[in-house]
Amino acid sequence: MPSAIVQKYLRVNRLAHIWCPGCGIGEIINGTIRAIDKAGWEQDKTVIVSGIGCSGRAPGYMNFDTIHTTHGRALAFATGMKLAKPELNVLVIMGDGDCAAIGGNHFIHAARRNIDLTALVINNQIYGMTGGQYSPTTPVDFMATTAPYGDAEPGFDLCGVAKSAGSTFVGRVAPVRMPELINTVSSALQHTGFSFVEAISQCPVYFGRMNRLGGPVQMLMRQKEITMPVRQAEQKPEEAEGKLLTGVLYQSERPAYGDLYGKIRLKAQWKAGEHV
Ligand code: SF4
């Protein structure tokens, strides 16, 4: 029998889901519904938007108003929704290819505008749904079906891009650190402005198999080895060398795009009235 929280926030009649056994996406969605609950977002005032790919299927299982949009355009749809109905809470779920390749421009400009929504990017470092091609976050030298001798391109640092582009909240989480995942996503949801969270995920079927990283359990243990909570890193900086920091990495305040746009619209209306 599913727990009360699962029954409330998931469309249990849509299960079983399509994800492979041991995939990290299910764990991240499990943590995300708990973060939504913690943040106090009401179901009938919440919209979940996704693009295309394994992660793009997530909203189909989530019991909110949801929209599965086109590849790379989830943030564009979400921006329109937030501007038309600012009272809605908007969560956008994307994969690394969806966000940083075809959707890269939308990602940069949503961060620059500081539009008040949350972008959760599930980063499995590969295109899973289409057969294991390398993505913008595949690390250099790692294998993919389109890079059988190793990827020659360095992977994007998604959190670095988000911060440089103007995101006012940046976090990184991993399913192996579930309490931190729930707290960080919940803080992102409650932040006013563009909040960005990278969720490290395991794709045992393509990334794991091609790079001989073992099964789901070994990949989760690897997540523990390559990451370190930011608070722990502050206390032991010598142990943080080369690690991916997790938790809330950056937070600041500046006016959100909807507020600035609203003021400009008022000015335009006033000016139009003046000339009538
Ligand atoms: S292909 Fe990879 S990312 Fe996609 S569902 Fe399977 S394990 Fe998950």
Asked if pLDDT for residue 75 goes beyond 90, the answer is yes
pLDDT at 2: 80
CA of 43 to the centre of ligand 1 (A): 27
Residue type, 226: I
Residues near ligand 1 (Cβ within 6 A): 19-20, 23, 25, 54, 124, 128-129, 203-206
Q: Is residue 26 pLDDT above 70, yes or no? A: yes
Measure 154 CA to ligand 1 centroid, in angstroms.
22
Identify the pLDDT of residue 10: 96
Angle at 82 between CA 29 and CA 183, to 5 degrees: 35
> What does the block give as tokens for 20?
């492979």
- Reported as a single tens digit per residue, the pLDDT across 174-191 is 999 999 999 999 999 999
Residue-wise pLDDT for 236-263, tens only, equals: 999 999 999 999 999 999 999 999 999 9
Q: Ligand 1 atom 4: the closest Cα is on which residue? A: 128
Q: What is the 3-state secondary structure (H, E, C) of the chain?
A: CCCHHHHHHECHHHCCCCCCCCCHHHHHHHHHHHHHHHHCCCHHHEEEEECCCCHHHHHHHECCEEEECCCCCHHHHHHHHHHHCCCCEEEEEEEHHHHHHHCHHHHHHHHHHCCCCEEEEEECCCECCCCCECCCCCCCCCCECCECCCCCCCCCCHHHHHHHHCCCEEEEECHHHHHHHHHHHHHHHHCCCCEEEEEECCCHHHHHHHCCCCCHHHHHHHHHHHEEEHHHHHHCHHHCCCCEEEEEEEECCCCCHHHHHHHHHHHHHHHHHHCC
How is residue 221 written in tokens? 């243990």
Q: Does the pTM exceed 0.85?
A: yes
Nearest CA to ligand 1 atom 2: 203
Instruction: Please give the pLDDT value at position 274.
Output: 67
pLDDT at 275: 57
Instruction: Determine the distance separating the centroid of ligand 1 and the alpha carbon of 24, expressed in angstroms.
Output: 8
Residue 41: is its pLDDT beyond 70? yes
20 C-alpha to ligand 1 centroid (Å): 5
Share of the chain above pLDDT 70, in %: 99
Query: Atom 8 (ligand 1): residue with closest C-alpha?
Result: 23
Q: Which ligand 1 atom is nearest residue 205's CA? A: 7
Closest CA to 183 of 26, 30, 31: 31
Q: What is the rounded average pLDDT of the residues 100-126?
A: 98
